[in-house]
Copies of this chain bind each other. A is one copy, B any other.
Amino acid sequence: MIVIQKKSFNYAKELDIFSKKNKLSGAISSFLGKVRDFSNLQKIDAIFIEHYEKMTKFQLSRIIEEAKTKWDIDDIIIIHRFGRLKIGENIVLIAVASKHREESLRSVEFIINWLKIKATFWKKEIGSDSTKWVKQKESDTDKIKKYNTSF
């Protein structure tokens, strides 16, 4: 399931629903990304996330399909927010249910790594002095090089 929404989401509640839905999956791995109070550049007050709605959904579904060809996966959920988010708020949740731990751990990592490169979201940091669009990190493009995947 892919959810792209402006409003905040409840991390615990979403995982609770996901785990109950996949009661017999032996392993559930998850990644939660939250707004930090600083970046490399400055102390920040909030962030603003813009996205290309039609493409974002399409890209995330492609990433999910790709993960499913690589690993035996029972279920996947991705929730990603856009709009203005305050410090400490949840940005993204990825959870994968599978029979064995390896599959769920690997695929959560795969999904967040590819999301960082392929999902059409853009982040702007709103600092006390200035706002600036975040630049993609070279370390993020490096992280996908290990995958034998191109899309």
Contacts and interface: CB of A to CB of B under 8 A. Distances in A.
B24 A32 contact: no
A32 B19 contact: yes
Contact of A12 (B19, B31, B143): B19
A33 interface: yes
A23 B112 contact: no
A87 interface: yes
Q: Please tell me how many copies of the chain the complex holds.
A: 2
Interface in A9-39: 11-13, 15-16, 19, 23-37
Is chain A's binding surface mostly helix, strand, loop or mixed? mixed
Given A16-B12, A19-B11, A34 B30 contact: no
Nearest to A139: B102
A101 B112 contact: yes
- Size bracket of the A interface: 20 to 34
Contacts of A6: none
Contact of A28 (B31, B35, B87): B31
Contacts of A88: 23-24
Interface stretch (A51-59, A103-111, A120-128): A103-111
Interface of A: 11-13, 15-16, 19, 23-37, 87-88, 99, 101-102, 104-105, 108-109, 112, 143
